[in-house]
Structure 1
Amino acid sequence: MARLGFARRLATADRCLFGTWVKIPALEPVEILADAGYDFIVIDQEHAPLTLEFTYQATVVAQGAGLSVLVRVPDRSGSHLQRLLDAGVDGILVPRVTTVEEAATTVRQMLFPPAGDRGMGITSRAGRWGGLDRTEYLRFGDEEVMRAVQLEERAAIEAVEKILDVPGLNGVFLGMGDLQLSSGLPQSDPDLQRLTDRFLTAAGERGVPAGTAVQTAAQAREAADRGFRYVMVSNDTSLLRSAASSVVASLLEMGDPHGV
């Protein structure tokens, strides 16, 4: 059975898809997250020291275990896009996109001509090292790989309708943490909530799947109920820290078994 790219997987899913960020440069967490039942992972090259080589290896392991793989690239320069697409990732998140022009440039770099500027790499992993039919290789790259921009500033949210009208854009992500920083407002502020509603309405009207990131399962359910189609819940480092802290706290509460 042919593998579904993340864009088509979102389009055909009857529920919100849940994933988490990968920040630890090791393959074991990737396998653990797959065994735990996540739908996808996001390899975080923006806020973690993850190399192209590790990202390639993690993509192979994750997809082999049934996970979809998204990559958040370090910046919006475009320098990483071609090699990641050649590696066969299921989608890319480009951070800090603030204008229509930036979004358009980003999307063009991920689309094949004539719609874009992506180079032919059919002898790479994305083309099964030359084994994939050329027509299918081009179709998969343009139709099934998710090309998403992260909107993280107030000005970007206020231009969301125009940004989402960029041809070929098939995913969007609300960066609430940076939106709070840039606006100086807490997430609960009515103004930020109105911006979130505007973001979701614009995405819904255009059929563009909207994603976001949260810390807890309860928050993830709330996001799904609100209309987000893919949600990152915590990350591998925080999950490990939380579990380790819980064990240590329990041990300390038990006290010294020898009564010393």
Structure 2
Amino acid sequence: MTMLHFCDLKTLVGSVMLRTGFAQRLARADRCLYGTWLKTPALEPVEILADAGFDFLVIDQEHAPLTLEFAYAATVAAQGAGMSVLVRVPDRSGSHLQRLLDTGVDGILVPRVTSVAEADAAVRQMTFSPAGERGIGITSRAGRWGGLPRAEYLRFGDEEVLRAVQLEERAAIEAVDEILDVAGLNGVFLGMGDLQLSSGLPESDPVLQELVDRLLAAAHRRGVPAGTAVATAAQASAAADRGYRFVMVSNDTSLLRTAATSVVRQLEEGASHGV
């Protein structure tokens, strides 16, 4: 077995220190970035999704039973496999933000943000003092357990981490210009499913489509990347063409269900033909 020499260790640590976070990946990308949701509390799907070639993974703590401990392990596995990692936190209370940022995630989505005040409160908790309320935790994984220089640790947290809010109600999107002007906010996510639910309108309704255009235009003017979630690859391509910069396509459980259902149907069709 070849031993890791000190110079190799310095190179490894240096590459970690220079790791590009999701906010900068979006800024530098010449295309839309594609990811998917992780809902299963297991690491095997993480490796499979990385092998499939997704750009990023979103650990879904809002609609799946995923703990902080699991999010930590999944983040390590996904980043080690080359994916960026976002976490959708359970709610907008802010109680989960500090510890997740300390795990070294590349960004956070805060769900159900409905006002400028809620957006500002969320962003402040993800931003280092004095501009915000995030405390220093350089001995955590985000600081390479004390191995990162203080300046690099603070720079990464300020410049590389995606701090995004989910807008899922009509009133929130109507106030999108004011919300996107919140200092430190560098990402926005349109929750079309809840927007339909809260408005009582289908996605095809012109009123909702005007709201989508309004959000995308406001984000584009400010250089704030906008994201959304869709069910299929064709819908993802259409979202990218419309101006979204990051798109979640399906999720691990739905992809498994679709593949399994397809196999069973093929077996049933074969049996019906006497194969």
**TM-score relative to the length of structure 1:** 0.98
1:217 pairs with 2:233? yes
Uncovered stretches (5+) of structure 1, i.e. residues with no partner: none
Q: Which has the higher helix share?
A: 2
**Which deviations, in whole Å up to 9, do the C-alpha atoms of 1:1-55 show, x marking residues without a partner?**
3211000000000000000000000000000000000000000000000000000
Shift of 1:113: 1.0
- Matching residue of 2:5: none
Uncovered stretches (5+) of structure 2, i.e. residues with no partner: 1-14
The number of residue pairs the alignment matches comes to: 259
1:171 pairs with 2:196? no
- Matching residue of 2:176: 160
**Which deviations, in whole Å up to 9, do the C-alpha atoms of 1:61-108 show, x marking residues without a partner?**
000000000000000000100000000000000000000000000000
Identity among equivalent positions (%) equals 79
**Which deviations, in whole Å up to 9, do the C-alpha atoms of 1:118-151 show, x marking residues without a partner?**
0110000000000000000000001100000000
- Matching residue of 1:67: 83
1:116 pairs with 2:123? no
Q: Letter of the 2:197 partner, please give it.
A: L
Q: Letter of the 2:19 partner, please give it.
A: R
- Matching residue of 2:205: 189
- SS in structure 1 opposite 2:145? coil
Q: Letter of the 2:178 partner, please give it.
A: K
Detail structure 1 runs of 4+ shifted over 2 Å in the superposition: 256-259
Distance 2:271 2:51 in 1: 34
Shift of 1:257: 8.2
**Which deviations, in whole Å up to 9, do the C-alpha atoms of 1:197-248 show, x marking residues without a partner?**
0000000000000000000000000000000000000000000000000000
Q: Letter of the 1:178 partner, please give it.
A: D
- Matching residue of 1:77: 93
Q: Give the direction of change, closer, same or farther, for the CA distance of 1:225–1:258 in structure 2 (3 Å limit).
A: closer
- SS in structure 1 opposite 2:189? strand
The 5 Å alignment of 1:231-242 reads: 231-242=247-258
Distance 2:88 2:129 in 1: 23
Distance 2:122 2:66 in 1: 21
- Cα RMSD over matched residues? 1.0
- Matching residue of 2:32: 16
Q: Letter of the 1:99 partner, please give it.
A: S
- SS in structure 2 opposite 1:128? helix
- Matching residue of 1:201: 217
